Amino acid sequence: DSGVTQTPKHLITATGQRVTLRCSPRSGDLSVYWYQQSLDQGLQFLIQYYNGEERAKGNILERFSAQQFPDLHSELNLSSLELGDSALYFCASSANVNTEAFFGQGTRLTVV
């Protein structure tokens, strides 16, 4: 158990819908990262928050957004979903930017 909790584990939704993925980092970790894992793109960095503020952006679509709350949990919002958004979405956390990241179990999103 990495200490990073992601909910839900599985999500099936229709095209055009909006979903929210939730991540609770390890206790005390300030940095939260979101990654997308798909068969064609592999593991891609989406976005990072550090102590409530956006720190880095990767290959994140405009239809996707995220935030980190005062209690340090984070949410990834995916809207206007397309079939191609079906993937495994991972959250990872680290104490700071210079320490290793620990990954959650992921949320498997299926868009039908």
Partner 1 sequence: AQSVTQLGSHVSVSEGALVLLRCNYSSSVPPYLFWYVQYPNQGLQLLLKYTSAATLVKGINGFEAEFKKSETSFHLTKPSAHMSDAAEYFCAVSDQGSSNTGKLIFGQGTTLQVKP
Site residues (vs partner 1, CB under 8 A)? 2, 4, 31, 33, 35, 42-45, 48, 50, 55-56, 58, 90, 92, 94, 96-106
CB of 42 to partner 1, least distance (A): 5
CB of 62 to partner 1, least distance (A): 19
Q: 3-state DSSP call for residue 21?
A: strand
Task: Give 104 or 111: the residue with its C-beta nearer to partner 1.
Answer: 104
Task: Give 41 or 80: the residue with its C-beta nearer to partner 1.
Answer: 41
For residue 71, count CB atoms less than 10 angstroms from its CB and return exposed for 0-12, middle for 13-18, buried for 19 or more.
exposed
111's tokens: 């868009």
Task: Give 14 or 53: the residue with its C-beta nearer to partner 1.
Answer: 53
Q: Distance between CA 51 and CA 68 in Å, rounded?
A: 7
Q: How many residues does the chain have?
A: 112
90's tokens: 């991972």
CB of 38 to partner 1, least distance (A): 12
